[in-house]
Amino acid sequence: PAYPTLAESAGIEGKVRLRFDVRADGSTENVRVVESSPPLIFDAVALYAVSSWQYVAKTPAESQQVVLRFDLPDELAAPETAK
């Protein structure tokens, strides 16, 4: 997913845990944020990214879960979030 511009310029890193279903055509539906840290910063781009995913297997599956991490290179991360 695209890194939110304001988060990148502020050196903010984070993660978003999402839950979703895979439809018979391989598309995702019912995409929702389960938790995010920091709250709200990365939710919109994470929701957009997972909503556009297309699975090749095309086997319906309910309640799949994924964690998207948003990490910056050490030189761009804020001192308190740098690894």
Each residue's pLDDT tens digit, 28-58: 999 999 999 999 999 999 999 999 999 987 7
Confidence of residue 60 (pLDDT cuts 50, 70, 90): confident
Per DSSP, helices labelled H in the chain are 5-10, 43-51
Structure pTM? 0.83
What residue ranges in the chain does DSSP mark as E strands?
A: 14-22, 28-37, 61-70
Q: Does residue 83 carry a pLDDT above 50?
A: no
